[in-house]
Amino acid sequence: MHKIPLLALAALTLTVAGCTWGIKLNEGGKQVRTAWNQDVTQCKQLGRVTVSVMDRVGPIDRNDIKVRDELEVMARNEAASMGADTVKPLGEPLDGQQAWGAYQCGKATMKPAAAMPNTRAQPQSGSAQTYPVQGN
Protein backbone atom coordinates (compact mmCIF):
# COMPACT_ATOMS: atom_id res chain seq x y z
CA MET A 1 0.00 0.00 0.00
CA HIS A 2 2.88 2.41 0.72
CA LYS A 3 4.77 1.38 -2.42
CA ILE A 4 2.68 3.53 -4.78
CA PRO A 5 3.44 6.90 -3.07
CA LEU A 6 7.13 5.97 -2.82
CA LEU A 7 7.23 5.11 -6.53
CA ALA A 8 5.50 8.39 -7.39
CA LEU A 9 8.00 10.31 -5.25
CA ALA A 10 10.92 8.50 -6.91
CA ALA A 11 9.55 9.30 -10.38
CA LEU A 12 9.08 12.97 -9.46
CA THR A 13 12.62 13.13 -8.07
CA LEU A 14 14.03 11.72 -11.32
CA THR A 15 11.98 14.22 -13.30
CA VAL A 16 13.30 17.15 -11.23
CA ALA A 17 16.88 15.89 -11.48
CA GLY A 18 16.62 15.60 -15.25
CA CYS A 19 15.48 19.16 -15.88
CA THR A 20 18.96 20.46 -16.76
CA TRP A 21 19.71 17.96 -19.51
CA GLY A 22 18.47 20.13 -22.39
CA ILE A 23 20.10 23.42 -21.34
CA LYS A 24 23.67 23.50 -22.59
CA LEU A 25 26.06 26.31 -23.40
CA ASN A 26 26.35 26.41 -27.20
CA GLU A 27 29.46 27.43 -29.18
CA GLY A 28 28.33 31.06 -29.45
CA GLY A 29 27.44 31.20 -25.76
CA LYS A 30 30.94 30.03 -24.86
CA GLN A 31 32.27 33.29 -26.33
CA VAL A 32 30.00 35.44 -24.13
CA ARG A 33 31.25 36.45 -20.69
CA THR A 34 29.12 37.34 -17.71
CA ALA A 35 29.70 40.71 -16.05
CA TRP A 36 28.32 40.18 -12.56
CA ASN A 37 29.63 43.30 -10.80
CA GLN A 38 31.55 44.93 -13.63
CA ASP A 39 30.85 48.35 -15.09
CA VAL A 40 29.55 48.01 -18.65
CA THR A 41 28.98 51.72 -19.34
CA GLN A 42 31.87 51.75 -21.84
CA CYS A 43 30.26 48.91 -23.80
CA LYS A 44 27.70 49.18 -26.59
CA GLN A 45 24.31 47.95 -25.40
CA LEU A 46 22.75 45.69 -28.02
CA GLY A 47 19.52 44.96 -26.23
CA ARG A 48 17.78 43.06 -23.50
CA VAL A 49 17.36 39.31 -23.16
CA THR A 50 14.68 37.80 -20.94
CA VAL A 51 15.01 34.09 -20.27
CA SER A 52 12.97 31.68 -18.21
CA VAL A 53 13.17 28.15 -16.85
CA MET A 54 10.97 26.07 -14.60
CA ASP A 55 11.69 26.98 -10.99
CA ARG A 56 9.13 24.52 -9.63
CA VAL A 57 8.07 21.02 -10.57
CA GLY A 58 4.62 20.56 -9.14
CA PRO A 59 4.77 21.53 -5.48
CA ILE A 60 8.57 21.17 -5.31
CA ASP A 61 10.93 24.14 -5.68
CA ARG A 62 13.98 23.43 -7.83
CA ASN A 63 17.47 24.11 -6.52
CA ASP A 64 18.04 27.90 -6.71
CA ILE A 65 21.65 27.53 -7.86
CA LYS A 66 20.66 25.25 -10.75
CA VAL A 67 17.90 27.65 -11.79
CA ARG A 68 20.34 30.59 -11.75
CA ASP A 69 22.96 28.61 -13.69
CA GLU A 70 20.41 27.66 -16.34
CA LEU A 71 19.25 31.27 -16.65
CA GLU A 72 22.84 32.42 -17.19
CA VAL A 73 23.48 29.73 -19.82
CA MET A 74 20.32 30.66 -21.69
CA ALA A 75 21.14 34.38 -21.54
CA ARG A 76 24.65 33.78 -22.89
CA ASN A 77 23.33 31.60 -25.73
CA GLU A 78 20.68 34.16 -26.64
CA ALA A 79 23.08 37.12 -26.43
CA ALA A 80 25.51 35.36 -28.79
CA SER A 81 22.81 35.25 -31.45
CA MET A 82 22.57 39.06 -31.14
CA GLY A 83 26.31 39.52 -31.64
CA ALA A 84 26.95 40.33 -27.97
CA ASP A 85 30.10 39.27 -26.15
CA THR A 86 28.96 40.17 -22.61
CA VAL A 87 25.78 39.77 -20.55
CA LYS A 88 24.90 41.33 -17.23
CA PRO A 89 21.88 40.53 -15.07
CA LEU A 90 19.44 43.43 -14.81
CA GLY A 91 17.84 42.06 -11.66
CA GLU A 92 17.35 38.97 -9.56
CA PRO A 93 15.47 35.93 -10.92
CA LEU A 94 11.76 35.93 -10.13
CA ASP A 95 9.57 32.86 -10.68
CA GLY A 96 12.20 31.30 -12.95
CA GLN A 97 12.53 34.39 -15.15
CA GLN A 98 15.37 36.91 -15.39
CA ALA A 99 16.24 39.91 -17.58
CA TRP A 100 19.81 40.41 -18.84
CA GLY A 101 21.50 43.20 -20.73
CA ALA A 102 23.41 42.16 -23.86
CA TYR A 103 26.54 44.19 -24.61
CA GLN A 104 29.41 44.39 -27.04
CA CYS A 105 32.50 45.20 -24.98
CA GLY A 106 35.26 43.81 -27.17
CA LYS A 107 38.57 43.05 -25.49
CA ALA A 108 38.20 45.91 -23.00
CA THR A 109 39.01 45.05 -19.41
CA MET A 110 35.99 45.78 -17.28
CA LYS A 111 36.42 47.26 -13.82
CA PRO A 112 34.20 46.50 -10.85
CA ALA A 113 31.28 48.90 -10.69
CA ALA A 114 31.74 51.38 -7.86
CA ALA A 115 28.04 51.62 -7.09
CA MET A 116 27.42 47.88 -6.95
CA PRO A 117 28.16 46.16 -3.63
CA ASN A 118 30.40 43.14 -3.69
CA THR A 119 28.05 40.18 -3.29
CA ARG A 120 30.77 37.60 -2.77
CA ALA A 121 31.44 36.59 0.81
CA GLN A 122 34.75 37.93 2.10
CA PRO A 123 36.70 35.81 4.57
CA GLN A 124 36.86 37.22 8.05
CA SER A 125 40.33 38.03 9.27
CA GLY A 126 42.09 34.96 10.58
CA SER A 127 39.40 32.58 9.34
CA ALA A 128 41.07 31.17 6.23
CA GLN A 129 44.02 31.58 3.93
CA THR A 130 44.08 30.58 0.27
CA TYR A 131 46.94 29.74 -2.06
CA PRO A 132 46.98 29.51 -5.87
CA VAL A 133 47.11 26.04 -7.34
CA GLN A 134 49.88 25.48 -9.88
CA GLY A 135 48.66 24.87 -13.41
CA ASN A 136 45.30 26.62 -12.89
d(CA 29, CA 84): 9
Compute the mean pLDDT over every residue in the chain, rounded to the nearest whole number.
79
Pick from 37, 26, 69: which is nearest to 51 by CA?
Answer: 69
- Predicted confidence (pLDDT) per residue in 76-135, tens digit: 999 999 999 999 999 999 999 999 999 999 876 666 666 544 444 455 555 565 556 665
Indicate the number of domains in the chain: 1
User: Domain for residue 118, yes or no?
Assistant: no
User: Domain for residue 25, yes or no?
Assistant: yes
Residue of 106 and 20 predicted with greater confidence: 106
Residue range(s) defining the domain that contains residue 97: 21-104
Residue of 73 and 128 predicted with greater confidence: 73
pTM over 0.85: no
User: Domain for residue 5, yes or no?
Assistant: no
Whole-number pLDDT of residue 88: 97
The CATH number assigned to the domain holding 28 equals 3.30.1660
